[in-house]
Chain A
Amino acid sequence: MAASSGEHVLSLYRLLLKESKKFPSYNYRTYALRRVRDAFRENRTVEDPKVVEELLNRARDSLALIQRQVLVQKNIDVVTCGFCRVC
């Protein structure tokens, strides 16, 4: 049980990082990567399965949010939008 949920957590983590890297804007990209990493690190020692499940749900919602926002930001009219400083 713990082993499978541990893998699950890791795969969610990797997915979140993969999606966060797609943000076109430097500030949003670095923030998403940093926040995801720090959130997972902070909750590393949580044992209670209900809390773990709730945190995983939040992570899944965040993943969907990041995917949506990445799409929105990429499809803003290319000609009018600016570009980041350090791409």
Chain B
Amino acid sequence: MLFVYHCRHPCADLSSCQYVLRLLKYSLPASVLTKSLGCLCHCSTGSTGCSLSTASSISVKLIKSRELERDELRPLYMDFQATTPMDPRVLDAMLPYQVNYYGNPHSRTHAYGWESESAMEKARKQVADLIGADPREIVFTSGATESNNMSIKGVARFYKAKKNHIVTTQTEHKCVLDSCRIMEAEGFDVTYLPVKNNGLIDLKQLEETIRPDTSLVSIMTINNEIGVKQPIKEIGHLCRSKNVFFHTDAAQAVGKIPINVSEWKVDLMSISGHKIYGPKGVGALYVRRRPRVRIEPLQNGGGQERGLRSGTVPTPLAVGLGAACEIAQQELEYDHKRVTVLANRLVQKIMSEIPDVVMNGDPDQRYQGCVNLSFAYVEGESLLMALKDVALSSGSACTSASLEPSYVLRAIGADEDLAHSSIRFGIGRFTTEEEVDYTVEKCIQQVKRLREMSPLWEMVQEGIDIKSIKWTQH
């Protein structure tokens, strides 16, 4: 099988041709190079072209060295909560708007603007259909972080005169918690509700916390770290009965579980593009019109997006988000079934082979594709390093730079040592059974190996109760 690679680098002489061939070495798949010639190099300058015989002999040497370096392959992707690869159908929908139909959707005077605008409105309808909303209630933003900021700061500031209280939970995304902190600095009163050990909030406690001067309750639908699904319908009904606006960060939930904002009585909902196999850099905010939710805009300007978020709507990204939402709606049942099967397979296999594994979060009220396991007597970071050919994370991507264990795990009451040894497995639309099996096998192997090296594990095997030990300082 002959594979022809077009090198875009103009080859001025043989040495640069060799350089290009060396670069090619890192991108040729091993299985292709078994039989015939590896590549042909097209040299653009006519005068000193590279001779094909030298090129092919170099490539043969590269082939031989290439087959030995099997470790340089890319890791398996098992981190679907951090981000998701773009679905090819989404890219296909976006490309015409990146290349040919590049008009500004707010240009009213020419065809470029009209076609862009119609694409943007079509995308708006696709997003609205997924959550059961009206297209006029969707505002395109730059992502769920901006949507969260807009909702919390916007609603709180608009109703500041009469209402001064915000309610949220301790397990929210950092952007929500940080926005609430800023609101506190502005003089608002914020209550951070604790969660039960299974990650769910206590509805009784929420009801008691809501005061007459509460303007907003913000609770995320599916947690990005432990996968727990909050009882949004009940919370929505409670908030509506108390005349309080209800915002939910549905970034991880949209396209994965059926959502209906009218049934759930949700007033504001944040949507993220890159969590549903769409492009990065785009999101949406659902803002209810009946009963009307007023927001003080964060971004002022030409009055686009109903004045709530000025700025040119990025047509290709919006089209991508719309396509991703439409695909998610069509594939929701199929993906959900598949993800549940794979997740159960992963958890069953791991838990049956190694003892002392704890799943964080409620086992029933969850989205199955986000599995957070704590391996006792094993350090989380070292397990991640050991599983270097699987892309996993411990805790969320936005907090992974710090050394502290995740605040979500601390909020659900996990022990310090269990919180340090937690790994989050993300399963999504593109995960295969082979990937899950490989991950499970590697995980079991590495956990056993790390436990062999652990003195705590030795002590546990001898029957010593770790909690009863009094550790002393030297």
On A, residues with C-beta under 8 Å from B are 23-24, 27-28, 30-32, 34-35, 38, 65-66, 68-69, 72-73, 77-79, 81-87
Contact = CB atoms under 8 A, between A and B. Distances in A.
Contacts of A69: 88, 91-92
Interface in B184-205: none
A32 B429 CA distance: 11
B24 A79 contact: yes
A72 B95 contact: yes
A16 to B, nearest CB: 13
Nearest to B88: A69
Given A34-B432, A85-B389, A87-B29, 17 more contacts: A27-B85, A27-B431, A28-B88, A31-B430, A35-B334, A68-B92, A69-B92, A72-B91, A72-B95, A78-B24, A78-B27, A79-B8, A81-B27, A82-B27, A82-B74, A84-B73, A85-B75
B74 A83 contact: yes
B31 A30 contact: no
A38 B74 CA distance: 28
Question: What bracket does the count of chain B residues touching chain A fall in?
Answer: 20 to 34
B326 to A, nearest CB: 13
A28 B29 contact: no
A85 B91 contact: no
Main secondary structure of the interface of B (DSSP, over half): loop
B429 A31 contact: yes
B386 interface: no
A77 B8 contact: yes
Contact of B32 (A28, A38, A87): A87
A49 B334 CA distance: 24
A68 to B, nearest CB: 6
Interface string B20-31: 100110111111
A83 B432 contact: no
Q: Which of A28, A65, A84, A85 has the most CB of B within 10 A?
A: A85
A65 B73 contact: no
Given A31-B430, A65-B89, A87 B30 contact: yes
Nearest to B77: A27
A87 B89 CA distance: 22
A79 B88 contact: no
Contacts of A34: 432
15 contacts: A23-B88, A27-B432, A28-B88, A30-B430, A31-B429, A32-B88, A38-B334, A65-B92, A66-B88, A73-B88, A79-B7, A79-B24, A83-B73, A85-B73, A85-B389
A79 to B, nearest CB: 5
Nearest to B95: A72
A47 B434 CA distance: 35
Interface in B44-97: 73-77, 85, 88-89, 91-92, 95
Given A38-B334, A78-B5, A79-B27, A28 B95 contact: no
Nearest to B93: A65
Nearest to A73: B88
A86 B26 CA distance: 15
A36 to B, nearest CB: 12
Q: Which of B24, B28, B88, B429 has the most CB of A within 10 A?
A: B88
Contacts of B429: 31
Contact of B430 (A27, A66, A82): A27
Interface in B301-357: 334
Nearest to B85: A27
Contacts of A31: 429-430
A85 B430 contact: no
Interface string B430-456: 111010000000000000000000000
A85 B76 contact: yes
Contacts of A65: 88-89, 92
A72 B274 CA distance: 20
